[in-house]
C-alpha cells in the first residue's frame, strides 16, 4: 500500500530536496506546496496519510497546517521537519497536538525522514483513539471486502431490518471500520453513510472479544461528550464483531435505540448470530469477487 505525504515547505530548493528524499523511498508518494493556504487547498482535495511541514511559513506556521490536517483527519501523522529550534516555537495554539519533530541539521536527517514518515503512518502513533494490536492485518483483511456493489446488496438490508424488529430497536447496521472512518454497508432506521472513526462507539467495540453493550451512552465517560452521537439520537448500543478469514475484527453488527436499555444474555447470543451471518455474507462476496476462488 502506498503512503501519501503532503510536504509544506516555502523554500523551493528545500522543497525539492525534501520531496526527493521521500520519493527515493518505496511506497511513498508526495504532493508539495509552500504555504498554509496552499496546504489547505491540498487537504480539501485529497486524503493524505502523513504531513511533513516546515515550521516558518509565509502565512503562518507548520502548526497551523497541523491543525488544518487534523480537522480533516484527526489521526493523520504529522512531522515538523524544520530548521527552526523547537524552543523557539509557539506551541500554545496546538498544546495537545501530537507531532514528531525532526531538525534539518545534516544530510542524515533527510535520510532518516522517510523512515520517520513510515513509522508514524504504519504504527499510527498519532491516533486519538486506541487501535487493535493487529491493526495492519485487520485493515488488510478489510481491503479484501471492498468489492463493487457491496453497498447495494439486499441481503444486508434484510438482516438489519430483521434485527431492528427482533430487538425492537430504532436502528440496526452493518459497519466496516477502515483506517479513518466507519462505513455503513447497511443501515436500517437511518441513512448514514459513514462516521469518523474517532466518533464511533464501534472503534472501542472492536477491541473486545464479546458483545459490547452500553446501556446509556450519555452516562458513559467515553461518549458522554460526543456531540455527534447525541445529534444522531443514540442512547443505547449493542454490537457484535464481524470477523475476517483469520478472525480479524473488520467491523460490527449493531442495534441502537433512542432510549437507555439493557440486553439479556439470550439477546446477546442472538446478536452474535446476526453478526456471524453478516460475516458469512461478507466472506461470500469476497470469494465471488476474487478470480479463481469461486466455490473455494
pLDDT per residue as tens digits for the range 19-38: 999 998 888 999 999 999 99
Digit-coded pLDDT (tens) for 237-273: 999 999 988 899 999 999 999 999 999 999 999 999 9
Instruction: Say whether pLDDT at 288 is over 80.
Output: no
Residue 151 confidence (pLDDT): 55
- State the pLDDT confidence band at 196, using cuts at 50, 70 and 90: confident
Looking at the structure, do residues 123 and 218 belong to the same domain, yes or no? no
- State the pLDDT confidence band at 296, using cuts at 50, 70 and 90: very low
Note whether residue 208 is domain-resident.
yes
- State the pLDDT confidence band at 294, using cuts at 50, 70 and 90: very low
- Residue 254 near residue 192 (C-beta atoms within 8 A): no
Residue 295 confidence (pLDDT): 44
Q: Which residue range is the domain that position 18 belongs to?
A: 3-128
Q: Of 262, 268, 214, nearest to 241 (Cα)?
A: 268
Digit-coded pLDDT (tens) for 219-233: 998 888 888 888 888
Note whether residue 67 is domain-resident.
yes
Looking at the structure, do residues 156 and 85 belong to the same domain, yes or no? no
Digit-coded pLDDT (tens) for 48-92: 999 999 999 999 999 999 999 988 887 888 999 999 988 888 777
| Average pLDDT of span 141-167 | 82
Note whether residue 133 is domain-resident.
no
- State the pLDDT confidence band at 126, using cuts at 50, 70 and 90: low
**What's the total number of domains in the chain?**
2
Nine-digit cell string for 176:
466496516
Looking at the structure, do residues 164 and 115 belong to the same domain, yes or no? no
**Which domain-ending residue is among 79, 109, 128?**
128
Residue 73 confidence (pLDDT): 81
**Which domain-ending residue is among 64, 95, 128?**
128
Tell me the CATH number at 25: 3.40.50.2300
Looking at the structure, do residues 181 and 74 belong to the same domain, yes or no? no
Amino acid at each position: 500500500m502506498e503512503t501519501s505525504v503532503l510536504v509544506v515547505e516555502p523554500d523551493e530548493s528545500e522543497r525539492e530536496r525534501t520531496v526527493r528524499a521521500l520519493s527515493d523511498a518505496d511506497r511513498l508518494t508526495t504532493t508539495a506546496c509552500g504555504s498554509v493556504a496552499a496546504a489547505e487547498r491540498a487537504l480539501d482535495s485529497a486524503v493524505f496519510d502523513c504531513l511533513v511541514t516546515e515550521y516558518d511559513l509565509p502565512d503562518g506556521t507548520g502548526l497551523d497546517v497541523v491543525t488544518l490536517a487534523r480537522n480533516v483527519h484527526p489521526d493523520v501523522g504529522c512531522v515538523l521537519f524544520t530548521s527552526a529550534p523547537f524552543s523557539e516555537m509557539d506551541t500554545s495554539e496546538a498544546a495537545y497536538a501530537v507531532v514528531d519533530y525532526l531538525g534539518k541539521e545534516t544530510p542524515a536527517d533527510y535520510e532518516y525522514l522517510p523512515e520517520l514518515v513510515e513509522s508514524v503512518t504504519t504504527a499510527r502513533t498519532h491516533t486519538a483513539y486506541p487501535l487493535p494490536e493487529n491493526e495492519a492485518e485487520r485493515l488488510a483483511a478489510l481491503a479484501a471486502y471492498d468489492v463493487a456493489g457491496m453497498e447495494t446488496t439486499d441481503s444486508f438490508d434484510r438482516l438489519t431490518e430483521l434485527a431492528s424488529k427482533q430487538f425492537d430497536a430504532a436502528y440496526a447496521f452493518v459497519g466496516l471500520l477502515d483506517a479513518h472512518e466507519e462505513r455503513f454497508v447497511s443501515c436500517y432506521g437511518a441513512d448514514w453513510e459513514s462516521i469518523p472513526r474517532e466518533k464511533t462507539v464501534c472503534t472501542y467495540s472492536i477491541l473486545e472479544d464479546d458483545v459490547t453493550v452500553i446501556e446509556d451512552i450519555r452516562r458513559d465517560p467515553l461518549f458522554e461528550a460526543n456531540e455527534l452521537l447525541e445529534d444522531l439520537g443514540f442512547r443505547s448500543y449493542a454490537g457484535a464483531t464481524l470477523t475476517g478469514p483469520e478472525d480479524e475484527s473488520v467491523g460490527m453488527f449493531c442495534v441502537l435505540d433512542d432510549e437507555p436499555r439493557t440486553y439479556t444474555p439470550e439477546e446477546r447470543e442472538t446478536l452474535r448470530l446476526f453478526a456471524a451471518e453478516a460475516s458469512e455474507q461478507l466472506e461470500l462476496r469476497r470469494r465471488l469477487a476474487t478470480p479463481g476462488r469461486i466455490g473455494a
